[in-house]
Amino acid sequence: MPGWGYGSKNGPQTWSRQFPVGEGKRQSPIDIVTEKTRPDPVLEASPLEISYDPSDQQSIGNTGHGWKVDYMGGQSSIRGGPLEGTYALAQYHCHWGREDERGSEHTVDGHKYAAELHLVHYNKKYGSFAAAADKDDGLAVIGIFLKVGKENKELLKVTNTLKNIKYCGSTAKMEPSDPDNFMPDTRRYWTYEGSLTTPPLYESVTWIVFAEPTEISREQLGEFRHLRRHTTDDEKGDDSDDDDGVIADNYRPPMPTGERAVRSCNAAVRFVRPQ
Ligand SMILES: [Zn+2]
């Protein structure tokens, strides 16, 4: 059976055959309808605390679906805001389009951004990402929209290494990055209860999506599109479609929001040094 992907034969519209929860009521991403979002005083009263330690960073790898930077040690974490307890950073990765006009998973009043960065955290009470991944309160993901503009200095550390992980399964060392620098200047965020946006699509994610995008250069987005889904230049792998094997359009389109509330919080975000 071919693996899941983003092609016409194995793309998001096919995932729920193998992962029925994909038809559930708590799926992600969603279209954020700003008029329906509601400010929540509870969120304002409990600032989201972000505490990342760049020395926890491990290698960067090509998963066949994108690039991913792993974290270890559990010192890099977030708490507060919509979260109960502390959530440790496990990895960050990105979704992007083949063209600059699309690529984000969440959309805002129907608007697609060029890319969307995801910082994936697990609830420390479960001890590991694997144990937390399918629990209702297991995961918390920070989503950051990327739009075309000036060069993103922090993401240069990623884009500078992509030539070393062109093929699926490869990993490389990367200069330690500080994810604080990915955050937009305006710290307004939306939050709602959702899911992983890739199989197994577990409905375990508290989403925290920053309202303002940060910038990335057209050249840097172009570097993302040099990654390949297959393991070598001559082997296309069994998930290849009728194209060039480039990783792009690796995003799931919005799912129904249904009865879910999307809460907003204006500026209650605090950056804290790890202990
Ligand atoms: Zn993601």
pLDDT score, position 1: 38
Confidence band, pLDDT 50/70/90 cuts, at residue 274: confident
Residues 21 and 15: their CA atoms lie apart, in Å, by: 9
Ligand 1 geometric centre to CA of 145 (Å): 11
**Please, what are the domains in the chain?**
12-271 (3.10.200.10)
What global pTM score does this model have? 0.95
Q: What is the CA radius of gyration of the chain?
A: 18
Lowest mean pLDDT among 99-103, 212-216, 231-235: 231-235
Ligand 1 geometric centre to CA of 42 (Å): 27
For 102, 104, 218, 221, 226, the CA distances from 110, given in Å and listed in that order, are 11, 11, 22, 21, 28
Confidence band, pLDDT 50/70/90 cuts, at residue 179: very high
pLDDT score, position 2: 56
Q: Is residue 74 pLDDT above 90, yes or no?
A: no
Per-residue pLDDT reduced to its tens digit, 183-203: 998 889 999 999 999 999 999
Please report the DSSP string for 84-96 in residue order.
Answer: SSEEEEEEEEEEE
Residues 212-229, mean pLDDT to the nearest whole number: 96
Ligand 1 geometric centre to CA of 47 (Å): 24
Residues 78 and 252: their CA atoms lie apart, in Å, by: 25
Which entry of 65, 93, 121, 230 is annotated as an active-site residue? 65
Torsion angle (degrees, nearest 10) of CA 264, 180, 116, 226: 180
Residues 246 and 96: their CA atoms lie apart, in Å, by: 12
Q: Which residue has the tokens 């792998």?
A: 237
Per-residue pLDDT reduced to its tens digit, 18-39: 999 999 999 999 999 999 999 9
Ligand 1 geometric centre to CA of 150 (Å): 23
pLDDT score, position 233: 59
Ligand 1 geometric centre to CA of 95 (Å): 6
Whether the CB-CB separation of 187 and 267 falls below 8 Å is answered with yes
Per-residue pLDDT reduced to its tens digit, 115-161: 999 999 999 999 999 999 999 999 999 999 999 999 999 999 999 99
Confidence band, pLDDT 50/70/90 cuts, at residue 234: low
Q: Which residues pair with 265 in a beta bridge?
A: 189
Cα 191 vs. chain centroid, distance in angstroms?
Answer: 14
Give, as residue ranges, everything with CB less than 5 Å from ion ligand 1.
Answer: 118
- The overall average pLDDT reported for the chain is 94
Half-sphere exposure of 208 (CA within 13 A, CB side): 27
Confidence band, pLDDT 50/70/90 cuts, at residue 269: confident
Q: Is residue 232 pLDDT above 80, yes or no?
A: no
- Residue type for position 41: P
65 is catalytic: yes
Both tokens of 69, joined, read: 């930077």
Q: What is the DSSP letter of 241?
A: -
pLDDT score, position 242: 56
